[in-house]
Amino acid sequence: MNQLDALKQFTTVVADTGDFKQLAQFQPQDATTNPSLILKAVQKPEYQPLLKDAVARFGHLPMDEVIDRLLVRFGCEILSLIPGRVSTEVDARLSFDTAATVARAHRIMALYQAEGVARERVLIKIASTWEGIQAAAELEREGIRTNLTLLFAFCQAVACGQAKVQLISPFVGRIYDWYKKSAGASWDEAAQAGANDPGVKSVRQIYQYYKKHGIATEVMGASFRNVGQITALAGCDLLTISPELLAQLAATEAPLSRVLDPAAARSLDLAAVSYDEAAFRYALNEDAMATEKLAEGIRAFCVDAVKLEALMKA
C-alpha cells in the first residue's frame, strides 16, 4: 500500500489546488482553493476558457461579483470530480470587516445554490482575524459552513472553537518557514523535522485541545512544505495537500502509521481556555510568528486578488 492510501485510512485527504484536472488521479474526498491557486490556474492555457467565459457572460457586473462567479465556476468543476466539499474564499480585502464578509459569503453561497449545489458541499473560507471569526460564527448560526484559514496561533484556534466553526486550516508550512528564517544559520533541519517541526507541533497542540474538550470543529492541517510534515500529522481530521506532495505520497510505499489519536488526546491534562476580543488580540500580539504570518498572508492574497482582477480587465 502506498502512503497516500495508507493515510486515507485515518485522515480525510483533501486536494489543495485550483488545477482541477489533476484531481482524478488522487481521488481526494474534498478540495480547497484560494485566490493564489485560482490565479495560478487561470494562467494555464487549459483554464483560459473559464476566465474568458466569466468575462463574456458577466463582464457588465461589478468586478468583485465577476471574480466570485469565476471562483464558483471553479468550485462547481471541482465538485463534479470529488464526492465531498469544496472551500471557496471570501476576498481577503474584507478580512477586517465582519458585515462585508457575511454579505460576500451569502453571495457566494447563493451562486452555488443557483448552480444546484447543496450548502453542505461548500465551505466558505475566511481569514482567522477576530472580525473573520465573528463573521463565521454568524454564518454557522445560519447553517452556512465555514473554513477558517490563515491560522497560525493557538488563540485563533480556541476562538474558532468558541465560534463553533465547521473547520480550521492551521498553516504548517508557513509556521515552519518563519521559524527557519528566524533561526538563520543556526537552523538544524534534522532536529526540527517530523514531530519536532514547529508547524507540526502547532497542529498537534490544537488537535489535542479540541479532542480533550469535545470541540466539534474539524482540524485540517494545510500549507505543507514536505511529506515529512504530512506523515507526522497522520490521524489529523483532514489534511489538505498540494498535487505535488500527493504524487510523492502515492509514489512511496514506506510504512505509515497513525500519529494523532483522539482517545490519546482525551486522556491528556489540558486546561480549558477562552478569549474575548481583548484577550484574543493580546494573545495574538504576543505571538510574533502568528502576527507576522497572518498579516503577510492577508497581504499576499490581496495582491493576487488584484492580479486576478487585472487579468479579467485585460
Set of cell numbers at residue 37: 491557486
Q: Is 293 a catalytic residue?
A: no
Q: Where are the strands (E) in the chain, listed by range?
A: 12-16, 30-32, 86-89, 122-127, 146-151, 167-170, 218-221, 238-241
CA dist 312 and 103 (Å) reads 23
Q: Extract the C-alpha cell encoding 129.
A: 482575524
Out of 8, 21, 44, 125, the active site residue is: 125
Report d(CA 40, CA 48) in Å as an integer: 11
Crossing angle of helices 288-313 and 154-162, in 10° steps, is: 70
User: 162 and 275 in contact (C-beta within 8 Å)?
Assistant: yes
The set of catalytic residues is: 125
